[in-house]
Amino acid sequence: MATTVTGTTDLSFKIMTIINKLANKEAIIGIVGLGYVGLPLGLGFVANKYKVLGLDVDENKVGLINQGVSYIEHIDGTTISKAVSSGLLSASVDFSDAASCDALILCVPTPLNRHHEPDLSYVVNTIDSLLPYLKKGQALSLESTTYPGTTEEILRPKIEAQGFTIGEDFFLLYSPEREDPGNMQFSAVNIPKVMGGVTLACQDVGIALYSAVVEEVVPVSSTKVAEFSKLLENIYRSVNIGLVNELKVAADRMGIDIWEVIEAAKTKPFGFKAFYPGPGLGGHCIPIDPFYLTWKAKEYGVHTRFIELAGEINESMPSHVVRKIGVALNSKAKSVNGSKVLLLGLAYKEDVDDMRESPTFHLMDGLRELGAQVDFYDPHIPVIPPTREHAKWTGCKSVEWSAEVVSSYDCVVIATNHSRYDLKELVEFADLIVDTRNALSILEIESREGQVYKA
């Protein structure tokens, strides 16, 4: 892939060294954080013949990579195995190995704390672990979603305190991840890459770095613009999902099928984009990212009411679904207390094993609090691993799929519509179904009267 340098005209020796190494595929790329973002990106560099070192504090992940084994369902283990055996991919828990890298790309979590405030501890701890091993001529890119100003306000002072001059002998940039787990159409290498540098020289290095692996690099004028652009992408989705979730509740009270309304509205060839309601928001982006901006905006005296309202509506959806489950059970002369409820889908979206921020956990919590016996079925997640927020569910196993098992539940809830479900069998096995994804209507599966409730 061609590397186009723009911005600076008087290029220093340090910037030319790293740009030439990138152009000649001699640069070693360090990927810090080997999750759903870092691992695919690292494999993208490997596919373009760059040597990649993965760094992670998780010894299990590091061990699996070095064995050529995948721990993410949609990433083929053969790809990792070939990358490792070729000598282009290795992993380590020893951050001193970062000294061997020419570019470091940080792909670490940026969650919220219990007050819905940004938790940058992973970013701060990671940069602090790397600081002793940084060297002149290196580039460092942050990809974690965060509020505008993070790169310059947090990373830059720490790096400069080590004696580096940003833009002269060290190159700092921000390029937000746009990974969509399970999306077979788009991957880390064919999604346009927004990138901003702290200086023009940093931008030049950033273009050279990402042009080596991504089909299109989109340079912007600053790291703040790049940081804000990522938030805008997900706030746009959050607000529109919040709108349609609110309309779902209103339509339900009016006896109107919101799904039919959306299908009618989207026949308009302009001015309308369809968004769909659900049991709540999931994934690491949409439920979290908007609050990064609302928090930062308060520093400037701005109250982002629109964003916060959408967040409140979306966060209320699991409670709405639990209420609808109660209505459905009442129709069978049963209460939530004492009923057996099976939730289909623990992953936050269809056909992946990613359960980060999944609304299904909130459904499980809400139903258990009301006295229900709760189980789940997910062909992508056989057992619930340890999580920060839902530790009490750790070790719970997916039930088996059979007529005997499914029919034993008083209510089955479609929380995530995996394509591997046999929904015809579901209608055959289950006496009562709550469909939060309109799954049965989309497939035009006939059900018995009073069998299916939409939520």
Q: Check which CATH number belongs to the domain holding 245 and give it.
A: 3.40.50.720
Task: Please check the confidence at residue 4 and state whether its pLDDT lies above 60.
Answer: no
Active site residues: 285
What confidence score (pLDDT) does residue 3 get? 41
Question: What's the whole-number average pLDDT of the chain?
Answer: 94
For residue 337, CA distances in Å to 75, 329, 360, 450 come to: 41, 10, 19, 21
Residues in CB range of 178: below 8 A, 6 or more apart: 191, 192, 193, 194, 230, 233
- What is the per-residue burial (b if ≥16 Cβ within 10 Å, else e) of 395-424? ebebbebeeeebeebbbbbbbbbbeebebe
What confidence score (pLDDT) does residue 270 get? 96
Q: Which of 191, 220, 249 is the last residue of a domain?
A: 220
Are 155 and 140 in contact, with CB atoms under 8 Å apart?
A: yes
Whether 408 maps to a domain, the answer reads: yes
Report the pLDDT averaged over residues 151-162.
98
Whether 280 maps to a domain, the answer reads: yes
What confidence score (pLDDT) does residue 168 get? 94
Do 145 and 272 share a structural domain? Answer: no
Model confidence band, residue 11 (pLDDT cutoffs 50, 70, 90): low
For residue 105, CA distances in Å to 140, 174, 245 come to: 6, 9, 36
Tell me the two tokens of residue 328: 């459905």
Report the pLDDT averaged over residues 213-221.
96
Whether 8 maps to a domain, the answer reads: no
Q: Which of 159, 186, 220 is the last residue of a domain?
A: 220
Residue 239 half-sphere exposure toward CB, CA atoms < 13 A:
14
Whether 95 maps to a domain, the answer reads: yes
What distance in Å separates the CA atoms of residue 417 and residue 421, rounded to the nearest whole number? Answer: 8
Whether 352 maps to a domain, the answer reads: yes
What does the pLDDT look like over 112-147, one tens digit per residue?
A: 988 889 999 999 999 999 999 999 999 999 999 999
Are 34 and 56 in contact, with CB atoms under 8 Å apart?
A: yes
- Dihedral sign, Cα of residue 276, residue 319, residue 455, residue 246: negative
Report the pLDDT averaged over residues 330-353.
96
Tell me the two tokens of residue 214: 């991504």
What confidence score (pLDDT) does residue 14 get? 82
What distance in Å separates the CA atoms of residue 219 and residue 211, rounded to the nearest whole number? Answer: 11
Query: Which DSSP state fits 385?
Result: P
Whether 225 maps to a domain, the answer reads: no
Scanning the structure block, which residue is given the tokens 């938030």?
231
- What is the per-residue burial (b if ≥16 Cβ within 10 Å, else e) of 146-183? bbbebbbebbbeebeeeebebbebbbbbbbbbbbbbbe
Q: Any bridge partners for residue 408, and if so which?
A: none
Report the pLDDT averaged over residues 158-162.
98
Model confidence band, residue 1 (pLDDT cutoffs 50, 70, 90): very low
Task: Please check the confidence at residue 10 and state whether its pLDDT lies above 50.
Answer: no
Report the pLDDT averaged over residues 309-313.
94
Phi, psi (deg, nearest 5) at residue 376: -135, 155
Three-class DSSP category at 136: coil
Tell me the two tokens of residue 203: 């931008």
What does the pLDDT look like over 235-265, one tens digit per residue?
A: 999 999 999 999 999 999 999 999 999 999 9
Do 242 and 187 share a structural domain? Answer: no
Do 94 and 182 share a structural domain? Answer: yes
Scanning the structure block, which residue is given the tokens 């209460």?
335
Domain count, the chain: 2
Do 247 and 198 share a structural domain? Answer: no
Instruction: Compute the radius of gyration of the chain from its Cα atoms.
Output: 24
What does the pLDDT look like over 48-86, one tens digit per residue?
A: 999 999 999 999 999 999 999 999 998 999 999 999 999
What confidence score (pLDDT) does residue 183 get? 78
- Among 181, 186, 177, 134, which residue's Cα sits nearest to residue 155? 134
Three-class DSSP category at 81: helix
Do 158 and 208 share a structural domain? Answer: yes
What confidence score (pLDDT) does residue 7 get? 44
Query: CA 67, 69, 75, 81: dihedral to nearest 10 degrees?
Result: 50
What does the pLDDT look like over 361-392, one tens digit per residue?
A: 999 999 999 999 999 999 999 999 988 788 89
Do 400 and 363 share a structural domain? Answer: yes
Whether 249 maps to a domain, the answer reads: yes
Model confidence band, residue 2 (pLDDT cutoffs 50, 70, 90): very low
Task: Please check the confidence at residue 6 and state whether its pLDDT lies above 50.
Answer: no
**Domain of 19, in residue numbers:** 13-220
For residue 85, CA distances in Å to 65, 69, 81 come to: 11, 12, 6
Model confidence band, residue 206 (pLDDT cutoffs 50, 70, 90): very high
Element (H, E) at 21: helix 13-23
What confidence score (pLDDT) does residue 261 get? 97
Do 295 and 180 share a structural domain? Answer: no
Do 180 and 247 share a structural domain? Answer: no
Do 369 and 246 share a structural domain? Answer: yes
Do 277 and 165 share a structural domain? Answer: no
Do 179 and 291 share a structural domain? Answer: no
Q: Which of 196, 220, 244 is the last residue of a domain?
A: 220
Do 289 and 259 share a structural domain? Answer: yes
Whether 6 maps to a domain, the answer reads: no
Residue 125 half-sphere exposure toward CB, CA atoms < 13 A:
10
Phi, psi (deg, nearest 5) at residue 234: -85, -25
What distance in Å separates the CA atoms of residue 252 and residue 19, rounded to the nearest whole number? Answer: 58
